[in-house]
Amino acid sequence: MADFVTLRAYAKINLNLDITGKAENFHTVEMVLQAIDIFDTVTVSKDDEISVKCSDDNLPSDENNIAYSAAKEFFCYTENEGGAEIKIKKRIPTAAGLGGGSSDAAAVIVALNILYESHLEDDQLMAICESCGADVPFFINGATQLAEGKGTILTPLPNLPECAFLIIKNGTKNSTGEMYNKFDSLGEIEHPKTAELVEAICEGDLYEIAENCENVFEYLYDDNFLSIKQKLINNGAISASLSGSGPSVFGLFETKDKAKAAKDVLEDEYEEIYLCEPINCGFEE
């Protein structure tokens, strides 16, 4: 039996994001999520209690850390008596709309399933994930998925054709709840065409995929956001959009070389800029 499990917890971008309605206490969405090869390293060991040590001192190390909550939910679900020492080496930018905390939480659940030999199936793992947050279940299998409802109704999609992304994080993140409240105050808007995006992915047509990368939260951003989008396009991106509720903007490129060329031009202007590619799996040891 392993003494510890170490996993790569991959980030995600939203190829698109649409808000389709509002229920009593949540919004309904349609969005296509894509795992990318920026990752945190999450190491989990058995222990008597739950503890979290994170390389980013700005993140909490107690029950306010979603990784702590994930371990607590795992033990509650499985009725195992035990604990976990969780160590997280951060590489995914925090408060960026890239799902770093959610990916770490899912990694903890997967690691504990291995350590405690619980033999949970994916649907059980995702049920635990959902108790931690609506965007956590995606990370169990990662790759490319359509998310609907609260974001927890997941449909696997084919892998993207060859491409790369350049991500620029510029500015601070507003809370997701605040962004949804601001969205509610908007009037009529043009919604993303999720069905067209899904069809383009199924056909492997990168240019049609690019045509349909849209995010309704873009309506809440100012000219600085539009400037970043335009700079990415001016430097070779075939489309650019927001990830999650922001503030990260990604450009979609035909090749990694083209994305790198754009990074070489823009990295003097933006401190947080990341070159990455799609990753077609969940966690890797």
User: Half-sphere exposure (CA, 13 Å, Cβ side) for 74?
Assistant: 29
> 269: buried, middle or exposed (CB in 10 Å: 19+, 13-18, 0-12)?
exposed
- Taking residue 100's Cβ as centre, other Cβ atoms within 10 Å add up to 26
Domain boundary among 156, 180, 206: 156
CATH of the domain at 125: 3.30.230.10
The verdict on 150 and 243 lying in the same domain is no
The verdict on 126 and 19 lying in the same domain is yes
- Listed in sequence order, the DSSP H helices in the chain are 66-78, 100-115, 122-132, 176-184, 194-203, 206-211, 223-234, 256-266
Domain span at residue 114?
4-156
> What is d(CA 277, CA 253) in angstroms, rounded to the nearest whole number?
10
Residue-wise pLDDT for 39-92, tens only, equals 999 999 999 999 999 999 888 888 899 999 999 999 999 998 889 999 999 999
Residue-wise pLDDT for 89-115, tens only, equals 999 999 999 999 999 999 999 999 999
Q: Which amino acid is at 201?
A: I
The verdict on 168 and 135 lying in the same domain is no
Active-site residue (options: 18, 135, 231, 263):
135
Is there a domain that residue 242 lies in? yes
| β-bridge partners, 156 | 145
Residue-wise pLDDT for 131-170, tens only, equals 999 999 999 999 999 999 999 999 999 999 999 999 999 8
Q: What is the tally of structural domains in the chain?
A: 2
Establish whether 87 is a catalytic residue.
Answer: no
Establish whether 184 is a catalytic residue.
Answer: no
Domain boundary among 156, 180, 204: 156
Residue 266 reports pLDDT greater than 70: yes
